Amino acid sequence: MIVRIIALPVAVEGLLMLLCAWVGMAMGDATAHHIVLPGAVTTVGGTLCYLASRLRRHSAAGRMAYLGVTLLWIVLASVGTIPLLASGSFTSFTDAFFESMAGFTTAGASLFGQVEQLPACIVLWRSLSQWIGGFGIVLLVLAVVPTLGIGSYSLYTAEISSADNTAKLDTSISHTIRHTLTVYVSLTVIFIALLVTSGLTPWQAVNLTFTHISSGGFALFNDGIASLSHTQQLILLFAMMLSGINFAFLYLLFSLKFQSLRQKLDQLSFYLLLTAAATAVSMTALHYRMHYGWSDALRLGALQSASAITTTGTMAADTRLWWPPLTLLFLLLALCGGMAGSTSGGIKAMRVLILLRNVKKSVLGHLHPHAVDPVRLNGKPLADSLVTNVMVIFFVYLFTLIGASAALLLTGMAPIEAVGDAVACLSGYGPGLATSGGFGSYAHLPSAAKLICSLLMLLGRLECIPALILLTPAFWKR
Amino acid sequence: MLLYLAVALLLPVTMSAVVRDGALTALLLSEAATTLAGLLMTGTFRLLASKSRPHRGGTAKRHNALWITATVWTLVPLFGALPFLLSGTLASPVDALFESVSGFTTTGASLIVQPQTIAPSLLLWRSMTQWIGGLGLVLFVIAILRRIGVASLELYEAEFSGTLGRKLHPHIAVSVSRMWRIYLLLTLLLAAALLLCGEGPLRSLCIALSTVSTGGFMPTEGGLTGLRPATSTVLTVMMFLSGVNIALLFHLVCGRPRPLLRSREFHLYIAIYLVATAMVALSLTAAGNSLRHSLSYSLFHIASTISTCGFYLPSPSHWSLWASGVTFLLLFLGPMAGSTGGGIKLKRIMILGHSVRNYFTHILHPSATLPLSVDGDRVEPDYVSKVYAFVFLYIMLTVAGAFILTLCGLDLQNAFAMAAANISNLGASPLLTNLGASIDYPALPLVGKCTLMILMTAGRLEIFALLAIFFPAYWKK
């Protein structure tokens, strides 16, 4: 069962390595040929395991799925270290694992300060890992998380299945996957085309699209996207904003089903509202505190707000030099995250919205203790248990954050950096505070801290619960 | 309410008259103003109450109740600030108000840099505000609400988490008077103990008033300097006790220790206290202090932090980052529900913990029905969601407060420490900052002081009650 979950993605990963090697060789990259052999071995190994696992029929045991999905990400990231190590970019496994995890979880926290020196095959490998990771998240949300009753899936289907309530779960899942894939691939193609027309080379366009549409945020240049033209930055801004929108939404949007869209605008409007508010605040601050002109302030404010709320983490300026309250604002935005069912990380705007509505309900419930007014979303009442689940996730998230910050403190980091990096990694944002923020990197971290951060990225990506449940004794009991 | 305040003011007035410390005029003036306003208010209030009672239903009463709570919490600190202002101790009205709010909310963040230099009667008044705020205001409010017939128990159940009336006595007035008795008893005991330890009478009284209310105004500059070992032991014990549910203390005093000893919340309280003390002591020892010193320091420090009292001793010579981290986290926990301390309260934390555990069990066994109970009391799902909302709001307010403080020019670390210390009504704590010095309140700009006042009040009052007023729905008929 678990082998089956993992083997196929690993085989695909091997194929992608081969692709990177081929592209690298075509671009005259000296290290690319080192990846060919590992790539081939991975592909063959993955395929064999997959075939072997098909020989024995297993019933899909629900709780094994948690183990499977957690292992999947760990294995993907571990195998993903092969190109990084083989090409000589890293000598230590911990470092490579961190970078690889940052790719597959689309966190985008990087150990490379100087990305322009990297060989072409590695650049493509990093971008590809994020692109695959971005899509994998959606698959994860659809295929594995359903049993958690939290949210992601039920909230996701609450939106998509109203078109076809009678469909069985599995057919609706395969439909959704197909729709999602269509949206994801067509968005990628569109944005590559747009970026090429705006004057970038195809190589740059592909890499930038891969890292932005997946809300990953690995940088292609040493100075983020600061040196790109304003048009190109605008295109990337759109790419980021789209990456924070639920795929079901995008699908409805593309298939021009505005009718069904209109009934589900709560989360979207909250997401857009937050982004707009953050943009306004940062614009004002940039103008008055940092003395940018209004147009520059608007551009940078919008880019950084979008980059934060979608947890992309791409940088249009070195935010380390910005006014400190702004960096705090961005981290908070990243904690909130984009819409549920998008590639972005964080707690998800949907949950934050439910939390806020519950607060409102509790406050007003104080006035009218006997009134029955459930928390509503899109006008529909939500079950109490669902609301509680959302809150549990929020607090588990928070506890994880506190625990991780404490652990990072123990490795000898400064408190602000420890908390900042923990937030940045758990939410999948990427750049933390101080040294690891802005155009900086995580290279200065002690290896123990790198390991902790890798785990945090994993936890954040899996929305904590599927991974944490493995730690409960009850999980292992028969 | 203001009348009560006026009565309370009489004490420092007499003292001032006896000692002749120059604050007599100021105190007398405040006394007169408060009495006058109090009489006026009472009159109006009676009038209003007698008029409105026949017409209004339950909801309207609730509106009134919230309204009264808000009014009390604005007026009392306002009048409480008068002595500071009129005596010239604090020159600006906002500063005087800050000191007063900080007192009545039992926060203990002080703008008076050198408390030993101000008039002793004012010092006493400062500590008294805390003592009144500790138990007084809430219970006074309950008393008032009863007069207009509001179900005050419901209103305050989240603050005292259902332990107030249910456990002590079915009748709320009896519970209230019992709680007062315990409160008084503790204070007198502590004052006597401090006297016995050889502290001066004024100092003993001030410290006692500040301790039992978990306030934390200190009569000297730079922490409690020059304490005798015996005094610090007594204080440690008393700070720890003031974090215990008063209802359970009442049972204990009446010779029924079982409710206290069997309370899971109490077990958790002790466990957290011991673990945190051990952690801080270890980290301080590792940082280079002597084991003996760091142990006694952390025993005192953690008791002060977890009960949100906010006393501190002169800092140890070597400072430890880890100790600050532990201190910061403790701020959010707070002591037991139904005590005078601030913070989220352990009972709520327990409910959270149980709820999370139930959730995990539920994932693995989807068909299991899992009731949630804490200390033998069944907790309804509706209440659980309220607790979540509370904690969420608490954290949001802390973050928002910290954000505003960063706007005032503080760095992130100090801003968060300050916001957390004030919403939890801790006040001052040396281990929250890098330097090992206490947080510098007097240097804050005006906006920062106002933010902190709001945070203190939000932390002390039930946040919900405060917030309800800001919702449009509250004003709708």
CB < 8 Å from A in window 53-72 of B: 59, 62-63, 66
- Residue B374, helix vs strand vs coil: strand
State in Å, rounded, how far the first CA of chain B is from the last one. Answer: 28
Residue A50 is predicted with a pLDDT of: 76
Kindly determine whether residue A391 and residue B66, on different chains, have CB atoms separated by under 8 Å. no
Test mutation, B360, B390, B399, B477, chain A, max A CBs within 10 A = B360
- Distance, in Å, from the CA atom of A97 to the CA atom of A78, rounded to the nearest integer, reads 6
Residue B82 is predicted with a pLDDT of: 78
Which chain A residue shows the shortest CA-CA distance from B354?
A: A392
Residue B160 is predicted with a pLDDT of: 46
Chain A residue numbers touching B364 (CB-CB < 8 A):
63, 469, 472, 474-475
Tell me, yes or no, if B283 comes closer than 8 A to chain A by beta carbon.
no
**For the residues of B297-335, what is the DSSP string, one character each?**
HHHHHHHHHHTT----PSPPSS--HHHHHHHHHHHHH-S
Q: What are phi and psi of A377, to 5 degrees?
A: -135, 130
Residue B379: beta bridge partners?
A: B372
Across chain B, which has 477 residues, the per-10-residue mean pLDDT values are 55 53 62 66 56 45 62 75 77 86 84 76 81 68 50 44 44 69 86 85 85 80 71 87 83 81 87 92 85 86 85 75 82 81 83 85 74 74 80 89 86 83 79 53 84 85 66 59
Which chain A residue shows the shortest CA-CA distance from B369?
A: A385
Q: Could you tell me the two tokens for A327? A: 């960096």
Please state the separation of Cα A149 from the chain's center in Å. Answer: 21
- Residue B472, helix vs strand vs coil: helix
**Which residue from A364, A367, A394 is facing B392, i.e. has the nearest CB?**
A394
Q: What are phi and psi of B82, to 5 degrees?
A: -55, -50
In which element (H, E) is residue B240 found?
helix B229-242
- Residue B372, helix vs strand vs coil: strand
Chain A residue numbers touching B476 (CB-CB < 8 A):
none
Kindly determine whether residue A147 and residue B363, on different chains, have CB atoms separated by under 8 Å. yes
Contact B115, B109 (CB under 8 A): no
**Which residue from B59, B356, B386 is facing A395, i.e. has the nearest CB?**
B356
Tell me, yes or no, if B467 comes closer than 8 A to chain A by beta carbon.
yes
In this prediction the ipTM stands at 0.82
Q: What are phi and psi of A92, to 5 degrees?
A: -105, 140
In which element (H, E) is residue B378 found?
strand B377-379
Kindly determine whether residue B381 and residue A388, on different chains, have CB atoms separated by under 8 Å. yes
Which chain B residue shows the shortest CA-CA distance from A327?
A: B412
Chain A residue numbers touching B63 (CB-CB < 8 A):
367
Amino acid at B374: V
In which element (H, E) is residue B377 found?
strand B377-379
Kindly determine whether residue A474 and residue B406, on different chains, have CB atoms separated by under 8 Å. no
Kindly determine whether residue B359 and residue A361, on different chains, have CB atoms separated by under 8 Å. no
For residue B348, give Cα distances in angstroms to A54, A155, A178, B457.
Answer: 49, 28, 45, 19
- Distance, in Å, from the CA atom of B174 to the CA atom of A211, rounded to the nearest integer, reads 67
pLDDT tens for each residue of chain A, 478 residues long? 667 667 777 888 888 888 888 888 888 777 777 778 888 888 888 888 877 776 655 544 556 767 777 888 888 888 888 888 888 888 889 999 999 999 998 888 888 878 888 888 888 889 999 998 888 776 766 655 544 443 444 444 333 333 333 333 445 666 777 778 888 899 999 999 999 999 899 999 999 999 999 988 888 888 888 888 999 999 999 999 998 888 878 888 888 777 777 777 888 899 999 999 999 999 999 998 888 889 999 999 999 999 999 999 888 888 888 888 888 899 999 999 888 778 888 888 888 888 888 888 877 776 666 666 777 777 777 777 778 888 888 888 998 999 999 899 888 888 888 888 999 999 988 888 878 877 888 888 889 999 999 999 999 888 887 788 888 887 787 6
**Which residue from A148, A328, A362 is facing B464, i.e. has the nearest CB?**
A362
Kindly determine whether residue A415 and residue B413, on different chains, have CB atoms separated by under 8 Å. yes
Question: A261 CB contacts (<8 Å, ≥6 apart)?
Answer: A249, A252, A253
> Nearest CA to B120 among B11, B215, B214, B35?
B11
**Which residue from A360, A361, A392 is facing B356, i.e. has the nearest CB?**
A392
Residue A372 is predicted with a pLDDT of: 67
Amino acid at A53: S
- Distance, in Å, from the CA atom of A90 to the CA atom of A83, rounded to the nearest integer, reads 10
Test mutation, B357, B412, B431, chain A, max A CBs within 10 A = B412
Residue A122 is predicted with a pLDDT of: 87
- Residue B370, helix vs strand vs coil: coil
**Which residue from A362, A396, A399 is facing B389, i.e. has the nearest CB?**
A362
Kindly determine whether residue B474 and residue A368, on different chains, have CB atoms separated by under 8 Å. no
Chain B residue numbers touching A148 (CB-CB < 8 A):
363
From B419's Cα to the closest Cα of chain A, the distance in A is 14
Chain B residue numbers touching A437 (CB-CB < 8 A):
none
Residue found by looking up tokens 């917030």 in the block: B467
Question: B108 CB contacts (<8 Å, ≥6 apart)?
Answer: B102, B130, B210, B215, B216, B217, B218, B309, B310, B425, B426, B427, B428
From B279's Cα to the closest Cα of chain A, the distance in A is 12
Residue found by looking up tokens 């004490």 in the block: B11
- Residue B373, helix vs strand vs coil: strand
CB < 8 Å from A in window 300-359 of B: 321-322, 324-325, 329, 352, 355-356, 359
From B46's Cα to the closest Cα of chain A, the distance in A is 23
Question: B166 CB contacts (<8 Å, ≥6 apart)?
Answer: none
- Distance, in Å, from the CA atom of A91 to the CA atom of B390, rounded to the nearest integer, reads 49
Kindly determine whether residue A362 and residue B385, on different chains, have CB atoms separated by under 8 Å. yes
From A367's Cα to the closest Cα of chain B, the distance in A is 6
Which chain B residue shows the shortest CA-CA distance from A410?
A: B322
Chain A residue numbers touching B399 (CB-CB < 8 A):
332
Kindly determine whether residue B392 and residue A355, on different chains, have CB atoms separated by under 8 Å. yes
- Distance, in Å, from the CA atom of A98 to the CA atom of A446, rounded to the nearest integer, reads 12
From A344's Cα to the closest Cα of chain B, the distance in A is 22
Residue B14 is predicted with a pLDDT of: 57
Please state the separation of Cα B250 from the chain's center in Å. Answer: 19
**Which residue from A149, A367, A475 is facing B59, i.e. has the nearest CB?**
A367
**Which residue from A367, A389, A409 is facing B359, i.e. has the nearest CB?**
A389
Which chain B residue shows the shortest CA-CA distance from A329?
A: B403
Kindly determine whether residue A328 and residue B403, on different chains, have CB atoms separated by under 8 Å. yes
Three-state SS across chain A?
CHHHHHHHHHHHHHHHHHHHHHHHHHCCCCCCHHHHHHHHHHHHHHHHHHHHHHHCCCCCCCCHHHHHHHHHHHHHHHHHHHHHHHCCCCCCHHHHHHHHHHHHCCCCCCCCCCHHHCCHHHHHHHHHHHHHHHHHHHHHHHHCHHHHCCCHHHHHHHHHHHHCCCCCHHHHHHHHHHHHHHHHHHHHHHHHHHHHHCCCCHHHHHHHHHHHHCCCCCCCCCCCCCCCCHHHHHHHHHHHHHHCCCHHHHHHHHCCCHHHHHCCHHHHHHHHHHHHHHHHHHHHHHHHHHCCCHHHHHHHHHHHHHHHHCCCCCCCCCHHHCCHHHHHHHHHHHHHCCCCCCCCCCCCHHHHHHHHHHHHHHHHHCCCCCCCCCCEECCEECCHHHHHHHHHHHHHHHHHHHHHHHHHHHCCCCHHHHHHHHHHHHHCCCCCCHHHCCCCCCCCCCHHHHHHHHHHHHHHHCCCHHHHHHHCHHHHCC
- Residue B288, helix vs strand vs coil: coil
- Residue B23, helix vs strand vs coil: coil
- Residue B423, helix vs strand vs coil: helix
